[in-house]
Structure 1
């Protein structure tokens, strides 16, 4: 009991609760889109949004290193008392965000139709998905720059301002969704337009909040775009971002496979899987709150080179993270019907979602260790281990589990898909936990990470 009392529980909670609230509102963009279309449109539009959002989500997931990498580098720099280095890290990330956003906007006219031809057969669903993705693409530069600013805030130990940003985005998106989809009947195009407008307003708010929070020395450092520190740190940024990109690419490939496989099973299964995936994402973003707390705390302690404090920060985040996963699993166990009813009133889609909801019920609890370890390894700069363990989980667990289901278990194909996905998330936590124990045993947390 004495050891538990000495853990930084209050610090972890003060960082976690705004992150939990903010993270839970992130999938509300998808939930609101799905709910509006589920009640005011049809399965074709729901499926189109699911496929179109897959492309936009791919960009946001694959560029998630703009947030996570910024948090890790900024947090460790601030922990070491190097404010100028922290500013330079954020500046480089912002420049990278602008370059990626501009490239995405330029290439979208060719890339999106090509991607959709792989994800879905020709027809109305594919056409609507292309239209949805083209409209949403206009907001990519704003969303990427917002990631960088949010990364700075979390690295600085501030999770309340990111909450204000995402809450604003989702409130605006909700209002515009009701107007465009429910009122004007624009379907998938209306859902895309609502989100695009909300993302740009979110960036404007993020810039204002950052500038008001920044100290005079930090503002002065931001204006020095030609400093040596800005020119010389790209290799370090590239090394970390490459690891994070590989790790996220593998994760997103698995998620995309789940969506694409459902598309091949028919529009009702595709729509049902889209609803179940939204429920899974809602839980995962809620669980990420303590992962963000761990990320912010451990980055500071690694920057200070205080390994005992690092382990105390991990322990203070671990128990609440598992508890939140258990709460979500229990919630889905007892109230899955009302959750599905909120998202759709289409009988065929509801029946399909009811059939497969059992796999989603256990996902939050089964994934708790993976989400927590993600925050720990991000904050400590151990991104290479994240990439390796993600590859192991996909190649050694997800693929064999899916093939075993299809060949030997003789279950329905969508059940095989969700079973493999559940085991994949369990494996992620197990492999990262083994890596944590191995690094701790060697006493190597201050060695070999991207500093």
Structure 2
């Protein structure tokens, strides 16, 4: 390692190794999950265009529900990580079980809603008249898997809190493979059509939920944590999740607003926006992996009252985030003229996309610390702050986007508004991280994290049995 590298603080350390041991499996897990939809699309697409269109409407709704319920994973990660850091293994497992029961309850409610209101929901998501029956069929069958899907989200949070991200990768990858096999067999050899695709996905979801539940069951038995539903614990898990749900809804609003305004500039602008957003989302997965790693790491350090370690981990994760953002931007800059033709033959769309990608290159180094700090504050249990500043930054974005639209700024104007959004988020996150208000130590946490309850036991000597320390 050169002296220049050491001067800028990027000499690899044991902490770097630990960070990437968490981040790399997390990235694999994040990439494995979208394969569910890709597999369904590829298999159903050969049934016909109406079937594929019906799948598109139903899966858009299901993807939105999953996106909004991701607070189950984030909230459980922070709560479990804190308990682990504090040496309270029974409490950590109990916190995870509470989150899983909350997932079951929400999954039953959402699943019933999907079955009962399938037709109006599919129509609301833009399905054509001939595609509606297929979308309704898919949604009704897929809704049966909602309890399992939300248990998977909560269970993923449990294992992230334990810093056992490798298991989540194995389960996600195995699930993705099983989903392909089941969907193909049920759709074609067994002739179930689009219902077979939904059935295969549901069976996969319950298989993954069972695998995660087995891991949690084993931990609960080992440390004497109860598995039965605990009303107070579930209420605390739900209460702690509300700020994260608000934050997620606000981010979704910003995404939808950008797409809606892009559509007003015409078909070419909307097409370019779709590709640009898809690429941005893919690149965000890499940054999200670092955010998840930081989230799990910080929650344990704060739970163990290691304030200096938490600040050091925050700085290091941010450094790697910025480096990753710069590298990703340079890769996009160097290759954009090679991959743009893969998406479209329309010269107008190609030109718009080429311009927008230059802004993505510019914004990635800004987005990187935003993603990382967002994950770290979630790990610290600072959800209330994220919710409040989310209101402010979303208002800033909507104001910038609407002003650009009113001034005829075109698609580039909308992406400049995204840049304003990222800068606003960066400012409020950096301001917070430079204070001590997000640093709350011990097994409880800030922003709604559950505190110690009667009967919780601290067994600090056993922490090493379930965590991976650098």
TM-score (norm 1): 0.81
Partner Cα distance (1:341, 1:184) in 2: 38
**1:205 deviation in Å?**
2.9
Change (3 A) 1:270 1:407: closer
Q: Distance in 2 between matches of 1:273 and 1:186?
A: 35
Aligned: 1:335 with 2:335: yes
**Segment of structure 1 superposing worse, 292-301 or 274-283:** 274-283
1:14-35 deviation digits (Å, cap 9, x = unpaired):
1111112222222333455566
Residue of 418, 425, 431 corresponding to 2:428: 431
- Give the equivalent residue in structure 1 for 2:300: 300
How many aligned residue pairs are there?
436
After the TM superposition, which residues 5-404 of structure 1 pair with which residues of structure 2 at under 5 Å, given as runs?
8-32=15-39, 49-120=55-126, 123-124=129-130, 129-175=135-181, 192=198, 195-211=201-217, 214=219, 216-218=221-223, 220-223=224-227, 225=228, 230-259=230-259, 273-336=273-336, 347=345, 352=349, 355-356=352-353, 358-359=355-356, 361-362=360-361, 364-396=364-396, 398-404=397-403
Q: CA deviation at 1:367?
A: 1.8
Distance 1:136 1:49 in 2: 11
1:322: how far off? 2.2
Deviates more, 1:99-108 or 1:126-135: 126-135
| Bigger shift: residues 428-437 or 379-388 | 428-437
| Alpha carbons 1:291, 1:375 under 8 Å: kept | yes
Structure 1 equivalent of residue 454 of structure 2? none
Answer whether contact 1:26 1:285 (CA < 8 A) is retained. Answer: no
Paired with 2:132 and 2:261, the residues of 1 have a C-alpha distance of 15
CA distance in structure 2 between the aligned counterparts of 1:97 and 1:278, rounded to whole angstroms = 28
Q: In structure 2, how many angstroms separate the alpha carbons of the residues matched to 1:179 and 1:337?
A: 39
Q: How far 1:254 sits from its partner (Å)? A: 2.4
8 Å Cα contact 1:145/1:203 also seen in 2: yes
Q: Aligned in 2, Cα 1:30/1:370: closer, same or farther, shift over 3 Å? A: farther
In the superposition, relative to structure 1, how do residues 176 and 335 fare at CA in structure 2: closer, same or farther (>3 Å)?
Answer: farther
Change (3 A) 1:386 1:416: same
CA distance, structure 2, for counterparts of residue 196 and residue 207 of structure 1: 16
For 2:448, what is the secondary structure of its paired residue? coil
Q: Contact between 2:78 and 2:380, CA under 8 Å: does it hold in 1?
A: yes
Q: Is the 8 A contact 2:100 2:154 kept in 1?
A: yes
CA distance in 1 between partners of 2:150 and 2:235 (Å) = 21
Superposed displacement of residue 379, structure 1: 0.9
* CA 330–262 in structure 1, closer or farther in 2 if over 3 Å, else same: same
Residues 274 and 191 of structure 1: is their aligned pair in 2 closer, same or farther, counting only changes over 3 Å? farther
3-state SS, counterpart of residue 8 of structure 1 = helix
Partner of 2:406: 407
In terms of fraction of residues, the more helix-rich structure is 1
Relative distance call for 1:385 and 1:336 in structure 2 (3 A) is same
Find the aligned partners of 2:80 and 2:38 in 1 and give their Cα distance. 32
Deviation at 1:81, TM superposition (A): 1.4
Structure 2 CA distance, aligned partners of 1:209 and 1:144?
A: 16
The secondary structure found in structure 2 opposite 1:450 is coil
Deviations 1:242-278 (A, max 9, x none): 1111111111222334455567777776666544433
Contact 1:55 1:112 in 2 (8 A): no
1:162 deviates by 0.6
Q: Over residues 344-370 of structure 1, what are the superposed CA-to-partner deviations in whole Å (9 max), with x where a residue is unaligned?
A: 6x756x974763364354354442122
Given that 2:57 and 2:135 are in contact with CA atoms closer than 8 Å, whether structure 1 keeps it comes out as yes
Q: Conserved in 2, the CA contact under 8 Å of 1:80 and 1:304?
A: yes
Which whole-Å CA distance do the structure 1 matches of 2:338 and 2:141 have between them? 31
Q: Cα distance 1:62–1:160, how it changes in 2: closer, same or farther (>3 A)?
A: same
Structure with larger Rg? 2
C-alpha separation in 2, matches of 1:176 and 1:422? 42
TM, length-normalised to structure 2: 0.79
SS at match of 1:170: helix
Partner Cα separation in structure 2 for residue 267 and residue 175 of structure 1? 36
Unaligned 5+ runs, structure 1: none
Counterpart of 2:458 in structure 1 is none
Contact 1:359–1:419 at 8 Å: present in 2 too? no
C-alpha distance in 2 between matches for 1:125 and 1:415: 34
What is the SS of the residue equivalent to 1:221?
coil
- Please give the alpha-carbon distance, in whole angstroms, between the structure 2 residues aligned to 1:319 and 1:182: 50
Kindly state the Cα deviation for residue 69 of structure 1 after the two structures are TM-superposed. 0.9
Cα distance, 1:210–1:216 mapped onto 2, change above 3 Å:
closer
